Homo-oligomer: A and B are copies of this chain.
Amino acid sequence: MHNQVMLKLGGSVITDKAGKDVIDRQQLATIASTLKESAFSGYIVHGAGSCGHPEAHQYHLDLGADRSNAVGIGVTHRAVTALNRAVVEALQNEGIDAIGVHLLDSCLADDGRLVSAPVELLDRLNALGITPVLHGDVVLDRRRGACIVSGDQVISALSPQLAVGRVGLATDVPGVLSSEGQVVRSITPSDIEGLSIGTSSSVDVTGGMQGKIRELLVLAGGGVESHIFAVSRLQDFLHQRDHGGTVVRMA
């Protein structure tokens, strides 16, 4: 029943987050090859990394949009959709049939949270053997004009509706790190208050690791475990082996 995998590729993993609009095509090729080898079936979501975050930041889209900064919507969307095309292309090159699905086209938000999303459409693509590739994006917002919806919010909003059994987040660190730099192997809602975690210094308009964990706890509340691991351990995650990273669960 709930046998689908939803895999998030962190923006830092597939772009050079210190630069601007720099796509790591070699990394994408490696990921696609691993997915092919593991007969991956499910949904892929990716972050924006350096393809979208700098643009969203420049136009202050995290604060909303009106006619004064609306031009930033297209600029940001085009940056992240260029990355999306590269992800789809890498999958196609391995013979994985994939189609990019953009939130800006298909979703609406209210005060920063998704209120509509193309769930039936994603389910139908999956049933046809096509891997939908979603991504963090600008989304039109009933209250703010526009907002930034992270790949992590996509995961927490859509996984419960899409028969997803396992969520994986491939990142550029081994897992959630404590402020001492150790991997936190397990996080539950009762841990979150006392948790002291490292922070990222690169531009991220979506809340970085703390935002990510908040989204995943919402998901855990619905009974879906998620896994945060180094992209180099993707194969271990896909084969349900220990990946050395963090598991976010209810208890």
Chain A contact residues, CB within 8 Å of chain B: 65-67, 70-71, 73-74, 77, 88, 92, 97-99, 101-102, 104-106, 108, 118, 120-121, 124-125, 128-130, 140, 145-146
Contacts and interface: CB of A to CB of B under 8 A. Distances in A.
A130 B99 contact: no
A92 B140 CA distance: 20
Main secondary structure of the interface of A (DSSP, over half): mixed
Contact of A106 (B105, B125, B145): B105
B97 A128 contact: no
Given A74-B97, A74-B99, A77-B99, A67 B105 contact: no
B108 A105 contact: no
A16 to B, nearest CB: 24
9 pairs of A and B residues whose beta carbons are closest in the complex: A105-B105, A70-B128, A106-B106, A105-B106, A124-B140, A74-B99, A67-B129, A101-B105, A71-B97
Contacts of A145: 128
Contacts of A104: 99
A226 to B, nearest CB: 25
Nearest to A141: B124
Contacts of A140: 121, 124-125, 128
